[in-house]
């Protein structure tokens, strides 16, 4: 079996697994209708059973229901972060590479300032400083938006740098020069010629970045800076269950396994897309 066929099968398998996880996150809570916040006081730290297929946590909450809810939160945060990263990062990188001058200077210096800080530490700092006030004002949804925003702030500079470099290369190509000579304006050159040629790079970069965002959100969850009760996330489930790992290790194992599968499937898909770009 040649390498290309193995790569194709790996892409299909990874994409299928990722698709199943997305379906579970979106439709799972409607199919498995157990309330993830309901406490079954008669089954604290229960092992898997008919009543609780994956067991229950220290408060008697169903692990499968919480896992589906946590998966939804983790994927939702990743989607919001990547949407911001693509729109802002790719947009600024495109403008910096095409127009140059002051625009390029401002975008590059802003990116350099953010590159000077360790990304995850900066996200932790933002979430820790503003988390309580945002949560009090806007509730759990506001807290998740803050987490998404903090991860997006540290994520867009890399996307901007990729797109800027590609744009700088493209705008010197002969087909761009000839199109400009025929009277095409900046809007037409960017929209019809440069943007379509950087779109593949943007998609691959965003896909590869999803794995890092999921891990980043999980890290914030482990520190108690992400979803707050009654919401949960994969990282928060691991943090809460770790305290009684000697009593029921499966409560750490299941969210850890889900997080691992999610990160690996996204990473494999992104890597295969990068090879084909």
Please provide residue 56's backbone torsions phi and psi, each rounded to the nearest 5 degrees. -140, 165
Total domains in the fold of the chain:
1
Looking at residue 224, its pLDDT comes to 78
Dist CA 110 CA 156 (whole Å) = 11
Nearest of 233, 243, 251 to residue 48 by alpha carbon = 251
Which stretches of the chain drop beneath a pLDDT of 70?
A: 1-4, 6-7, 131-140, 276-277
Please report whether residue 106 resides in a domain: yes
Please report whether residue 116 resides in a domain: yes
Looking at residue 61, its pLDDT comes to 92
Please report whether residue 171 resides in a domain: yes
Give pairs for 120-124: CB < 8 Å, separation 24+. Answer: 120/154, 120/216, 120/219, 122/150, 122/153, 122/154, 123/147, 123/150, 123/151, 123/153, 123/154, 123/216, 123/220, 124/150, 124/219, 124/220, 124/223, 124/225
- 56 - beta bridge partners? 62
- 62 - beta bridge partners? 56
Digit-coded pLDDT (tens) for 51-69: 899 999 988 999 999 999 9
Q: Give the global pTM.
A: 0.85
* CATH number, residue 73: 1.10.3720.10
Please report, for residues 32, 187, 189, 202, the alpha-carbon distance to residue 197 in angstroms, rounded to integers and kept in the order given: 43, 15, 11, 10
Sign of CA dihedral 245, 246, 251, 254: positive
Looking at residue 4, its pLDDT comes to 66
Dist CA 165 CA 168 (whole Å) = 5
Dist CA 228 CA 220 (whole Å) = 11
Dist CA 137 CA 208 (whole Å) = 33
Please report whether residue 46 resides in a domain: no
Looking at residue 137, its pLDDT comes to 59
Six-digit token string for 246: 């000697």
Looking at residue 66, its pLDDT comes to 93
Please report whether residue 269 resides in a domain: yes
Six-digit token string for 239: 């943090």
Nearest 10 degrees: Cα torsion 207, 210, 212, 215: -150
Looking at residue 183, its pLDDT comes to 75
Looking at residue 65, its pLDDT comes to 93
pLDDT cut 70: percent of the chain above it = 93
Please report whether residue 47 resides in a domain: no
Digit-coded pLDDT (tens) for 148-172: 888 888 889 999 999 999 998 888 8
Domain of residue 143, residue span: 3-34+53-276
Looking at residue 133, its pLDDT comes to 67
**183 Ramachandran zone, left/alpha/beta (phi>0; psi -120 to 50):** left
Dist CA 185 CA 188 (whole Å) = 5
Dist CA 163 CA 157 (whole Å) = 10
Looking at residue 238, its pLDDT comes to 87
């Amino acid at each position: 079996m040649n390498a290309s066929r193995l790569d194709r099968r790996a892409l299909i398998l990874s994409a299928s697994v990722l698709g199943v996880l997305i379906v579970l996150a979106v439709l799972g809570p409607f199919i498995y209708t157990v309330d993830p916040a309901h406490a079954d006081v008669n089954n604290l730290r229960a092992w898997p059973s008919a009543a609780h297929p994956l067991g229950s946590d220290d408060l008697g909450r169903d692990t499968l229901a919480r896992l589906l809810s946590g998966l939804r939160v983790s994927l939702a945060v990743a989607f919001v972060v990547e949407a911001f990263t693509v729109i802002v990062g790719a947009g600024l990188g495109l403008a910096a590479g095409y127009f140059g001058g002051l625009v390029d200077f401002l975008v590059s210096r802003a990116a350099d300032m953010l590159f000077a800080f360790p990304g995850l530490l900066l996200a932790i700092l933002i979430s820790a400083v503003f988390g309580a006030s945002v949560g009090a004002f806007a509730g759990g949804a506001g807290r998740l938006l803050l987490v998404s925003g903090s991860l997006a702030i540290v994520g867009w500079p890399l996307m901007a740098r990729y797109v800027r470099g590609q744009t700088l290369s493209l705008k010197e190509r002969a087909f761009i020069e000839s199109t400009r000579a025929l009277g095409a304006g900046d809007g037409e050159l960017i929209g019809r010629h440069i943007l379509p040629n950087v779109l593949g790079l943007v998609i691959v970069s965003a896909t590869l970045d999803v794995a890092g965002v999921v891990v980043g959100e999980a890290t914030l969850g482990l520190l108690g800076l992400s979803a707050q009760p009654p919401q949960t996330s994969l990282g928060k489930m691991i943090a809460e269950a770790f305290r009684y790992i000697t009593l029921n290790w499966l409560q750490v194992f299941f969210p850890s396994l889900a997080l691992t599968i999610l990160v690996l499937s996204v990473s494999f898909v992104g890597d295969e897309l990068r090879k084909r770009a």
